Amino acid sequence: MSIDLSVLPGSDELFEGAPCGLVITREDGTILRSNRIFSLWLGFSQVELAQRRFQELLTMGGRIFHQTHWAPLMRMQGSVAEIKLEFKHADGQTVTMLLNGVRREHPDGAFYELALFGTADRDRYERELLESRRRAEELLLEKTRAEAALQQAKVELDVAYEKSQRRALFAEQMVAIASHDLKNPLTAIKMATDFLGRGERTQRETQLLEHIGQSSQRAQRMIEDLLDFTLARVGPGIRITRRPTDLHQATGQSVSELRVAFPQAMLIHQQTGAGLADFDADRVQQVIGNLVANSVAYGDLAHPITITSGVAAGIASLSVHNQGAVIPEASQPNLFEPMTRLSEQASDIRSVGLGLYIVRELARAHGGDVAVSSSAEAGTLFCVSFPVDPESGPVDDQGNITQDSRLP
């Protein structure tokens, strides 16, 4: 496709309408010609610019740069590119431009042909770029400081954790020592109370002796719980001695003793299925005692507390049921942790908060576990289950036998 060159703008029109500043000067900087855009950018008319020296339009810094840098380059290499110069506008403001120039030889002398470009957008972009870089460096510095602070905090936390572990271990050892040493005077108090109770006493003295006996028994149960707690947490764990025993008989004996300890409660023993199993009778009676004490402390004593023993499908089970306040579902997962109590209402019966923890540890020592369910309609039920035969493997909290990890 051919183009009619006659319709294209001429050289004068191109010079005046160029989208950049165009200036022609002599070698000494005298302006011979400038286009409209250059005069517009500086606020001078083209007539005012004519015969002025180019360097006179520059700021003081621009003049020094002209004299020491770009003017010598023009003479030596005949061209410059992207030289940044600062000009003084007619109103006194500073205008920044980029200069490209070439030196051309003519019969009348050397002339400089200069093209100048505005840098407002470029300067704004550079400022934004520098600001972004500065902000990125600040963020990097903040990140580095935060990581250092986090690392220091981690080190301090590790040290604090180690100290707390040592303190906790020391405290648990002290509890074990103190609990063990308290057993002897309590035993002496109980023996003396029993001896004094055999003689003839006034009604007031008999009541005092009964209070002393009940208090010493309660203190002895707490000490036994503390000793079991330290064995489970610090020592080798709670040890049991399993023997073939009738679960119904052991449970019935425990319930009879608990009726004396808790005369205000109605205790009912129910039997299901067979009763023979391998277990530690003393420890199982301790489980029953802790669960009944918990029911007395938190249950509604207007309703009976039911203790059920049974053996079925190779699983021995003991359950204690009571009516009363519902245990919130959110509290149930932590119910068997040490020092956990549902409320402060029964501090005279259970003040240490280890009863249910001991129940769980004893159930696990037998290869079993303990579970709890509670609702307003059905009441609260604690159920301990463990395998009848210790060789059959442990059971989960649902009473199902699981594969022993020691077996292939």
Residue-level pLDDT at 173? 57
In sequence order, what are the beta bridge partners of 372? 382
Is 113 contained in some domain? yes
Instruction: pLDDT tens for the chain, 408 residues: list them.
Output: 565 555 566 678 888 888 899 999 999 999 999 999 999 999 999 999 988 999 999 999 989 998 998 889 988 999 999 888 999 999 999 999 999 999 998 888 899 999 999 887 777 888 888 888 888 888 888 889 989 888 998 988 888 888 777 666 655 655 555 555 555 566 666 676 776 667 777 777 777 777 777 677 666 666 676 666 666 666 666 778 889 999 999 999 989 988 988 889 999 999 998 889 999 888 898 899 989 999 998 999 999 999 999 999 889 999 999 999 998 988 888 888 876 665 555 444 444 577 888 899 889 989 999 999 999 999 999 999 999 887 766 665 555 555 443 332
* CA-CA-CA-CA torsion sign (302, 307, 313, 316): positive
Q: Are residues 32 and 143 in the same domain?
A: no
Its pTM stands at 0.50
User: In this structure, is residue 52 part of a structural domain?
Assistant: yes
Q: Looking at the domain assignment, is residue 408 inside a domain? A: no
Q: What is the pLDDT of residue 184?
A: 59
Residue 247, pLDDT score: 93
Residues 261 and 297 in one domain: yes
SS3 320: strand
Give me the amino acid identity at 263. P
Question: Could you say which of 232, 250, 274 is where a domain stops?
Answer: 232
Q: Is the same domain home to 225 and 250?
A: no
- Do 252 and 309 lie in one domain? The reply is yes
CA dist., res. 291 & res. 316, Å (int)? 16
pLDDT at res. 218: 66
User: Same structural domain for residues 10 and 110?
Assistant: yes
Q: What is the spatial distance between Cα 274 and Cα 89, in angstroms, rounded to a whole number?
A: 110
User: Are 387 and 304 part of one and the same domain?
Assistant: yes
Same domain, 246 and 305: yes
* Same-domain pairing of 357 and 262: yes
Judge whether 378 lies within some domain.
Answer: yes
Short-list 394, 382, 391, 392, CA closest to 355: 382
Say whether both 337 and 319 belong to one domain.
yes
3-class DSSP state of 201: coil
Integer angstrom CA distances of residue 175 from 166, 182, 187, 287, 393: 14, 10, 18, 21, 33
Q: Is residue 272 part of a domain?
A: yes
Residue 326 sits in the same domain as residue 309: yes
- CATH number for the domain including 276? 3.30.565.10
Residue 348's pLDDT is: 47
CA distances from 68 to 3, 62, 63, 102, 116 (A): 47, 10, 9, 17, 20
- The per-residue pLDDT for 127 is 81
φ, ψ (nearest 5 deg) of residue 115:
-120, 130
Where is the domain boundary, 206, 232, 258?
Answer: 232
Shared domain check, 17 and 95: yes
Number of structural domains (the chain) is 3
- Structural domain boundaries enclosing 169: 125-232
Do 369 and 263 share a domain, yes or no?
Answer: yes
Residue 180 lies in a domain: yes
By the 8 A CB rule, do 267 and 253 touch?
Answer: no
Is residue 276 situated within a structural domain? yes
Task: Give percent helix, percent strand, percent coil of the chain, each to the nearest 5.
Answer: 50, 25, 25
Tell me the C-alpha distance between 58 and 268, whole Å.
109
Q: Residue 352, SS3?
A: coil
Supply the pLDDT for residue 406. 32
Whole-angstrom Cα distance, residue 232 to residue 354? Answer: 11
Does 403 reside within a domain?
no
**Which of 212, 232, 252 is the last residue in one of the domains?**
232
What's the CATH code of the domain at 193? 1.10.287.130
